[in-house]
């Protein structure tokens, strides 16, 4: 539709507002209660214009074909100016001292020519609330526009805020009336980001000195891949804000990506290499560290063979660094023994999704949740572990989508769900088969899809006969009526979506879990079809998808090209000018076993604290001890670094150049906002230098060159380049050509399996590796907390620590009472593999007989307890099920 703005004609969509037309013309209009992320309120009247014969609020008035909009209409202008003047009269003079680039209110005043001299300089002295480490409220600057309240409700879905008071005394406040820090606020920063006056601010922006640079990059916390703007002042990060209009996070973020950045200037940051002398790690020069690493790796390789060396690459590192790491281990060392932490989280997704559909990633973009009418969320707690996705799920539920949650804990989303199947840990396969049984029995099937695009239905149907609701209810300890209700919600939905996490994969039969979950999407024709929502695995670390995509795996080259295929090896050998070993290398758990048996002599670990994050920590420590030589790259002196022979000081994600791949297969640019401190360096440079010290040249002088080389050798990435990502923004893979966008939705024409069909899998339920017994009667589940991340090495060095200073053991009150454990007292937790002490937190969020803890704190080493059991197909550890014994710490001890 055409709209004429001050004489200029502009085309806008049918549902556009007058404000959309004004902005499409590139014209400025003050909009103090409007935020494009929110439903318009139309309450501040600062956007008044004439549209046709009427004075309207541009933010809410629908545009009409041919309508003439006049921004400088005297009546509208005067009324809008009056609205701003009224606000000005109620604000203190300091409201106009905020730099214009940080205050919409100051810009609005400038637009209307209102200056400080117009102020009455009202001083209400309503006070501040600085109780929260990140969200700072100055009540006197509040104009009660309501944007913060709407951000918290509509975008974050937390409903922590409200406007209180009357008339000019109306201000934002936490809904529970107490201090901000003890409110339900989850610290996403949405309210701060939307506030037009600075009433809500954050520590780095209370300082009014100018920002000197802003860099747009990709978050280095979880795998959602939020686009962030990093604002720097005096070579220090002043603030990080979500990039508005970013495709993944759409101007939203979480407390980790938004605020937890001060770790980069922590006093204990590594700024020089460490070399072990006389049993002690001491600061060294790069020359000494590089010389020692080159000499020892070469000596071990030459004396014991290349397979005596293994590398654990990093899901935190960039794609380009992972590409270089696997090139280094294959061509300079001569082994395929490289793995990454996807082994510990989503290796079952890669294996299961590849077997079911053909490719090792989720099938659809996150954006497709926008049109789902039923979400099946299995084994994931995204409001804590992937908060931006969690908020999007809440948005859909608030808009009317149905929600089925399968999780042993009563998570925030479980509490919101239409049906919560609180299935016993380890029972996923039975539950998914039970739901499939009901889809078949009640004929919630896409028959045409099953007939033409799938295989395996008859075998599956035969198996499913063993999974009637009563049988599954007995295995999973759920009500059969709830199974039926869940199956009907999923079965009757027009656009069902499946979202899942590590609660599906980190099991002894995790790959079977992925396959039987994928069955549900296939039975409904909810994958590979127009308008489908598909299946989305929530990846744990920022670049765990990319680390695997780049071939940091023991059996595949970049793009999952199999190492055993001679033609593929030959292609890489021609490009690299070195032989590529044929024999598959070791997986991470096999590396530890090989170290203890003496076959593995050296371990090279990039950016992972395996001594804290991997299961059965005692076994990992023994393996590190058994190695002759351990090299480590890290930002801090981690537990793994403590056992290393040489530690290289690493750059953080905020100091790196390259790309990450997020959980829905998007390549996104990572740009350095700062230089690394001291002599720290990025993993890309360290690998180049180690190779050079060993007399090898890895080529790829820059990250852009590394991605270009990878693309030239990998058909599914062939259309990707840094230049294209700069020009076009994030791109999904597969991206086989440079003239077409990547494939956001997979398999619309055919599946990538050898026969082009989706493969239904008949997989029986099998018990977990860990079973409770009289000695170990409880089941321990591990997971994440909102404010911390992985081993906590970054978040514990920020003010997030104030919000959760220590780990606790969640235990049901009935169990606690039986054990004589009270809230806040210490309990000894013992498994068949180790022991630790945790402070009890009594909650009904866990079921009786189950307990929960995270492993973010070295002082609460939960992985001392977890077992060596792994997924039978991929060796992914069974983190989610550990049989434990619990007893109170003896009083007085
Ligand atoms: Fe239009 Fe407030 S921005 S009324």
Greater model confidence, 622 or 125 = 622
Instruction: Give the Å distance between the CA of 24 and the centre of ligand 1.
Output: 17
User: Angle at Cα 638 formed by Cα 789 and Cα 770, nearest 5°?
Assistant: 65
Task: Report yes or no: 363 and 747 within 8 Å, Cβ to Cβ.
Answer: yes
Which of 283, 226, 277, 218 is closest to 253 using CA atoms? 226
User: For the chain, what is the mean pLDDT?
Assistant: 95
CB burial readout 407-428, b (16+ within 10 A) else e: bbbbbbbbebbbbbbbbbbbbb
Q: How many whole angstroms separate alpha carbon 685 and alpha carbon 649?
A: 11
User: Is any ligand 1 atom within 6 A of the Cβ of residue 44?
Assistant: yes
**What residues form DSSP beta bridges with 228?**
217, 242
704 CB-near residues (< 8 Å, 6+ apart) = 320, 721, 722, 723
Predicted confidence (pLDDT) at residue 116 exceeds the cutoff of 90? no
Give the pair of three-digit tokens for residue 91. 């604000």
pLDDT score at 704: 98
Asked if the bond preceding 734 is cis, omega within 30° of 0, the reply is: yes
Look at ligand 1, atom 3, and give the residue with the nearest C-alpha.
31
List Cβ<8 Å contacts ≥24 apart for 91-100.
Answer: 91/119, 91/122, 91/140, 91/141, 91/143, 91/197, 92/121, 92/122, 92/123, 92/124, 92/140, 92/141, 93/119, 93/121, 94/141, 95/141, 95/197, 95/198, 97/208, 98/197, 98/198, 98/208, 99/208, 99/210
How much helix, strand and coil, in percent to the nearest 5, is found in the chain?
A: 35, 20, 45
pLDDT score at 120: 59
67 CB-near residues (< 8 Å, 6+ apart) = 3, 4, 18, 51, 52
User: Is any ligand 1 atom within 6 A of the Cβ of residue 843?
Assistant: no
DSSP per residue, 321-342: HHHHHHHIIIIII----EE-GG
User: Is any ligand 1 atom within 6 A of the Cβ of residue 858?
Assistant: no
Q: How many whole angstroms separate alpha carbon 854 and alpha carbon 540?
A: 14
Tens of pLDDT along 505-555? 999 999 999 999 999 999 999 999 999 999 999 988 899 999 999 999 999
Locate the DSSP E strands across 453-538: 454-455, 496-500, 535-537
Closest ligand 1 atom number to CA of residue 58: 1
Give the pair of three-digit tokens for residue 594. 């090989």
157: left (phi over 0), alpha (psi -120 to 50) or beta: left
Residue 585, SS3? coil
Looking only at the bridges linking them, the beta strands covering 68-70 and 2-5 are parallel
Task: Report yes or no: 847 and 813 within 8 Å, Cβ to Cβ.
Answer: no
Burial of 479 (0-12, 13-18, 19+ CB in 10 A): middle
Task: Report yes or no: 418 and 404 within 8 Å, Cβ to Cβ.
Answer: yes
Tens of pLDDT along 32-84? 999 999 999 999 999 999 999 999 999 999 999 999 999 999 999 999 999 99
User: Is any ligand 1 atom within 6 A of the Cβ of residue 33?
Assistant: yes
Residue recorded with tokens 């925030």:
412
Task: Report yes or no: 165 and 171 within 8 Å, Cβ to Cβ.
Answer: yes
Instruction: Give the Å distance between the CA of 367 and the centre of ligand 1.
Output: 28
Q: How many whole angstroms separate alpha carbon 349 and alpha carbon 71?
A: 54
Look at ligand 1, atom 4, and give the residue with the nearest C-alpha.
42
Instruction: Give the Å distance between the CA of 19 and the centre of ligand 1.
Output: 9
pLDDT score at 115: 82
Tens of pLDDT along 718-745? 999 999 999 999 999 999 999 999 999 9
Predicted confidence (pLDDT) at residue 263 exceeds the cutoff of 90? yes
- Sign for the CA dihedral angle at 219, 224, 225, 230 comes to negative
**What residues form DSSP beta bridges with 837?**
828
- Of 159-168, 280-289, 310-319, 488-497, minimum mean pLDDT range: 159-168
User: Is any ligand 1 atom within 6 A of the Cβ of residue 419?
Assistant: no
Predicted confidence (pLDDT) at residue 822 exceeds the cutoff of 80? yes
Q: How many whole angstroms separate alpha carbon 268 and alpha carbon 794?
A: 11
User: Is any ligand 1 atom within 6 A of the Cβ of residue 46?
Assistant: yes
Instruction: Give the Å distance between the CA of 203 and the centre of ligand 1.
Output: 28
User: Angle at Cα 683 formed by Cα 734 and Cα 558, nearest 5°?
Assistant: 25
Give the pair of three-digit tokens for residue 674. 């700062």
Predicted confidence (pLDDT) at residue 892 exceeds the cutoff of 70? no
Task: Report yes or no: 710 and 558 within 8 Å, Cβ to Cβ.
Answer: yes
Instruction: Give the Å distance between the CA of 55 and the centre of ligand 1.
Output: 13
Task: Report yes or no: 819 and 827 within 8 Å, Cβ to Cβ.
Answer: yes
Q: How many whole angstroms separate alpha carbon 169 and alpha carbon 524?
A: 54
Mean pLDDT computed over 325-333:
98
Mean pLDDT computed over 820-831:
96
Predicted confidence (pLDDT) at residue 678 exceeds the cutoff of 80? yes
CB burial readout 346-362, b (16+ within 10 A) else e: bbbbbbbbbbbbbbbbb
Give the pair of three-digit tokens for residue 663. 């959980």
Closest ligand 1 atom number to CA of residue 34: 3
- Of 99-108, 109-118, 565-574, minimum mean pLDDT range: 109-118
User: Is any ligand 1 atom within 6 A of the Cβ of residue 32?
Assistant: yes
- Of 720-729, 737-746, 797-806, 853-862, minimum mean pLDDT range: 853-862
pLDDT score at 891: 66
List Cβ<8 Å contacts ≥24 apart for 695-701.
Answer: 696/328, 696/331, 696/332, 698/324, 698/327, 698/328, 698/331, 698/332, 699/576, 700/320, 700/323, 700/324, 700/327
Residue 10, SS3? strand
Q: How many whole angstroms separate alpha carbon 74 and alpha carbon 235?
A: 47
Give the pair of three-digit tokens for residue 843. 């909650």
Task: Report yes or no: 526 and 887 within 8 Å, Cβ to Cβ.
Answer: no
Task: Report yes or no: 187 and 795 within 8 Å, Cβ to Cβ.
Answer: no
Task: Report yes or no: 189 and 204 within 8 Å, Cβ to Cβ.
Answer: no
Q: How many whole angstroms separate alpha carbon 305 and alpha carbon 325?
A: 19
**Given pLDDT bands bounded at 50, 70 and 90, which one contains residue 205?**
confident
Give the pair of three-digit tokens for residue 608. 């992972």
User: Angle at Cα 388 formed by Cα 841 and Cα 719, nearest 5°?
Assistant: 135
Instruction: Give the Å distance between the CA of 47 and the centre of ligand 1.
Output: 5
Instruction: Give the Å distance between the CA of 206 and the centre of ligand 1.
Output: 26
In a 13 Å sphere around the CA of 242, the CA atoms on its Cβ side amount to: 27
Domains and CATH numbers, the chain: 2-93 (3.10.20.740), 118-265 (3.30.70.20), 274-344+543-666+674-717 (3.40.50.740), 347-537 (3.40.228.10), 778-888 (2.40.40.20)
Q: How many whole angstroms separate alpha carbon 549 and alpha carbon 556?
A: 9
Compute CA 265 distance to the chain's CA centroid, rounded to the nearest angstrom: 23
pLDDT score at 119: 59
User: Is any ligand 1 atom within 6 A of the Cβ of residue 34?
Assistant: yes
What pTM was computed for the model?
0.94
CB atoms within 10 A of CB 182: 11
Q: How many whole angstroms separate alpha carbon 747 and alpha carbon 116?
A: 61
Residue 561, SS3? strand
Locate the DSSP E strands across 713-807: 731-732, 758-759, 778-783
CB burial readout 595-628, b (16+ within 10 A) else e: beeebbbbbbbbbbbbbbbbbbbebbbebbebbb
First to last CA, the chain: 77
Tens of pLDDT along 290-317? 999 999 999 999 999 999 999 999 999 9
pLDDT score at 344: 87
Task: Report yes or no: 127 and 165 within 8 Å, Cβ to Cβ.
Answer: no
């Amino acid at each position: 539709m055409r709209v004429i703005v001050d004489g200029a004609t502009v085309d806008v969509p049918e549902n556009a507002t007058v404000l959309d037309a004004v902005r499409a013309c590139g014209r400025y209009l003050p909009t103090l209660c409007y935020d494009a992320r929110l439903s318009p309120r139309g309450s501040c009247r600062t956007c008044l214009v004439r549209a046709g014969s009427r004075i309207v609020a541009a933010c809410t008035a629908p545009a009409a074909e041919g309508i003439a909009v006049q921004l400088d209409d005297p009546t509208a202008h005067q009324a809008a100016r009056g609205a701003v003047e009224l606000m000005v009269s109620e604000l203190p003079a300091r409201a106009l001292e905020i730099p214009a680039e940080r205050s919409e209110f100051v810009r609005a005043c400038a637009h209307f020519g209102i200056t400080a001299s117009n102020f009455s300089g009202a001083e209400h002295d309503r006070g501040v609330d600085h109780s929260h480490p990140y969200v700072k409220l100055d009540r006197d600057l509040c104009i009660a526009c309501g944007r913060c309240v709407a951000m918290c409700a509509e975008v974050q879905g937390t409903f922590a805020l409200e406007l209180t008071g009357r008339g000019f005394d109306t201000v934002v406040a936490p809904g529970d009336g107490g201090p901000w820090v003890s409110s339900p606020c989850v610290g996403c920063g949405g309210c701060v980001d939307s506030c037009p006056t600075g009433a809500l601010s954050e520590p780095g922006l209370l300082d009014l000195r100018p920002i000197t640079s802003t860099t747009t990059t990709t978050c280095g916390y979880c795998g959602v891949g939020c686009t962030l703007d990093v604002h720097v002042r005096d070579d220090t990060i002043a603030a990080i804000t979500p990039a508005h209009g970013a495709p993944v996070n759409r101007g939203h973020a979480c407390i980790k990506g938004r605020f937890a950045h001060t770790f980069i200037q922590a006093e204990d940051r590594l700024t020089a290499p460490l070399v072990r002398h006389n049993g002690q790690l001491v600061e060294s020069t790069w020359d000494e560290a590089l010389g020692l690493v080159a000499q020892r790796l070469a000596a071990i390789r030459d004396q014991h063979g290349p397979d005596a060396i293994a590398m654990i690459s990093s899901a935190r590192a960039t794609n380009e660094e992972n590409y270089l790491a696997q090139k280094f281990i294959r061509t300079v060392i001569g082994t395929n023994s490289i793995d990454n932490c996807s082994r510990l989280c989503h290796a079952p997704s890669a294996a299961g999704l590849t077997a079911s559909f053909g490719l090792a990633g989720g099938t659809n973009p996150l954006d497709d949740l926008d049109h789902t009418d039923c979400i099946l969320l299995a084994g994931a707690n995204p409001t804590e572990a992937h908060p931006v996705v969690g908020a999007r799920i809440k948005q859909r539920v608030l808009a009317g989508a149905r929600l089925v949650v399968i999780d042993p804990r009563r998570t925030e989303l479980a509490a919101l769900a239409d049906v919560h199947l609180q299935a016993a840990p380890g029972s996923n396969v039975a539950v998914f088969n039970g739901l499939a049984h009901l889809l078949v029995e009640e004929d919630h099937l896409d028959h045409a899809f099953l007939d033409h695009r799938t295989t395996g239905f008859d075998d599956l149907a035969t198996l499913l006969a063993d999974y009637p609701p009563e049988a599954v209810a007995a295995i999973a300890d759920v009500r059969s009526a709830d199974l039926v209700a869940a199956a009907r919600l999923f079965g009757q939905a027009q656009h069902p979506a499946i979202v899942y996490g590590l609660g599906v994969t980190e099991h002894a039969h995790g790959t079977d879990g992925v396959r039987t979950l994928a069955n549900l999407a296939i039975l409904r024709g909810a994958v590979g079809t127009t308008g489908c929502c598909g299946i989305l695995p929530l990846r744990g670390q920022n670049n765990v998808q990319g680390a695997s995509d780049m071939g940091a795996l023991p059996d595949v080259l970049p793009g999952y090209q199999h190492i055993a295929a001679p033609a593929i090896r030959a292609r890489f050998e021609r490009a690299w000018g070195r032989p590529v070993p044929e024999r598959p290398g070791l997986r991470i758990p096999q590396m530890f076993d090989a170290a203890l048996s003496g076959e593995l002599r050296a371990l090279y670990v990039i950016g992972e604290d395996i001594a804290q994050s991997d299961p059965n920590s005692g076994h990992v420590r023994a393996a590190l001890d058994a190695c002759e030589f351990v090299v480590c790259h890290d930002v801090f002196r981690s537990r793994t670094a403590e056992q290393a022979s040489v530690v290289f000081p690493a750059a953080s994600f905020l100091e790196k150049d390259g790309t990450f791949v997020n959980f829905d297969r998007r390549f996104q640019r990572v740009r350095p906002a700062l230089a690394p401190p001291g002599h720290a360096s990025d993993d890309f440079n360290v690998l180049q230098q180690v190779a050079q010290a060993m007399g090898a040249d890895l080529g790829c002088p820059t990250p852009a060159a590394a991605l270009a080389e990878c693309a030239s050798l990998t058909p599914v990435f062939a259309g990707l380049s840094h230049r294209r990502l700069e020009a076009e923004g994030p791109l999904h893979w597969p991206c086989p050509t440079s003239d077409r966008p990547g494939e956001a939705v997979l398999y619309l024409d055919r599946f990538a399996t050898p026969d082009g069909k989706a493969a239904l899998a008949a997989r029986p339920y099998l018990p977990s590796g860990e079973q409770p017994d009289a000695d170990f009667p409880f089941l321990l589940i591990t997971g994440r907390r909102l404010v911390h991340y992985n081993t906590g090495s970054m978040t514990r060095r920020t003010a997030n620590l104030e919000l959760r200073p220590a780990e606790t053991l969640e235990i049901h009150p009935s169990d606690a009472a039986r054990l004589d454990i009270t809230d806040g007292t210490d309990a000894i937790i013992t498994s068949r593999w180790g022991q630790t002490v945790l402070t009890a937190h009594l909650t009904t969020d866990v079921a009786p007989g189950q307990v929960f803890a995270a492993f973010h704190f070295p002082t609460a080493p939960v992985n001392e307890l977890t077992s060596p059991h792994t997924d039978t197909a991929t060796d992914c550890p069974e983190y989610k099920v550990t049989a434990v014994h619990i007893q109170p710490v003896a009083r007085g001890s």
